[in-house]
Amino acid sequence: MGKKKERIDFDSFYSFYFPGRWESLKEALHKEPVKTAYTKGLLKPYYLDEASVATAMALDIKKGDRVLDLCAAPGGKTLILAGQLGESGELTSNDRSSARRARLKKVIAEHLPDYAASQITVTGHDASKWCLYETDVYDKILLDAPCSSERHVLTSPSHLKKWGTARTKHLAVQAYSMLVSALDVVKNGGTIVYSTCALSPVENDGVIEKLRKKRPDRFKLVKPDIPFGEMTTYGWQILPDTAGGKGPMYIAKIIRIQ
C-alpha cells in the first residue's frame, strides 16, 4: 500500500502563501467586513464591500455595451453594472442556482428603476458551457467565480473543520472552465474581469497562469485602475490587513486579442 498523504491544515496552507503575514491577515479576516452604501442609479442603497464595487467598475462599461455577468447572485455587482449602462445597452445576469437566482431577481426588483430592470435578462445556465451556444457576442463579461471564501470559512467552525486543499483545487478547475468559455463568448477586443473573494493563489493567479499556457495568443492582461490593493503576478489583490478592512478580492483584467 502507498504511503498515506499527510493532511495539510488551513493555517499551514495559508502560512505558506503569506509568509510572515498570515497571522495579521487572519486577524483582519476575523473582523466584521467593511461595507459601503452604493446608491448610483438605485432606488435605495445596496451595502457591499468597496472591493466588490471596484471589481465591477474595473469592467469599464460604456453606454450601449452588451454585458454578461456570469455568476451574478446575490446581485450587488449586477446593480453596479446596470448603473453603468445608463439607458442603453443590455445586461444578462446569470446564475445556475435557482435559489440564488430568486435572490438575484429580488435584489434587481427592489433596487433598480423599471427602465434599468427592463435591460436585464436573468438566466440560469452553466457558465462553463456557454461557449457551446454563443460565441463572439458580448463587449464585457464579469466572471466573479465561486471560490473558497476563506473569510467565511474562518468564522464558521463547521466549514473550517471540513476545509481541505482538494476544495481549492476543485474550485480552480471549475473557474478555469468558466473563464476559457468566457474567452470564446466575449467579442474580439472585448474585456473580461475575472474575480474571486479567495485568498488561495490556486484559484487566483493559478487560473490565469493556466489560461496563459493553454491560450497564450488569445488575450492580454491589463492592470485594473483601482486605488487600493496590491499587484500579484497576473492580477490585483485587495486584502483587509492592508486595505482598511476591504476584501479579500482578486481581480484579473483580460482583453481578448483574437
Q: Which of 71, 131, 147, 197 is catalytic?
A: 197
Closest CA to 165 of 111, 193, 212, 203: 203
Do residues 43 and 71 make contact, with C-beta atoms less than 8 angstroms apart?
no
Distance CA 46, CA 202 (A): 31
CA 160 to chain CA centroid, nearest Å? 22
- Residue owning grid cell 493559478: 206
Residue 195: closest CA among 184, 207, 186, 187: 207
* Max Cα–Cα distance, the chain, nearest Å: 65
Burial class (CB in 10 A: 0-12, 13-18, 19+), 35: middle
d(CA 64, CA 59): 14
Residues facing 111 on adjacent strands: none
Between CA 70 and CA 15 the distance in angstroms is 32
197 has catalytic annotation: yes
Contact 229, 238 (CB under 8 A): yes
- Would residue 136 be called left, alpha or beta, if left means φ above 0 and alpha means ψ between -120 and 50 degrees? left
Looking at the annotation, which residues are catalytic? 197
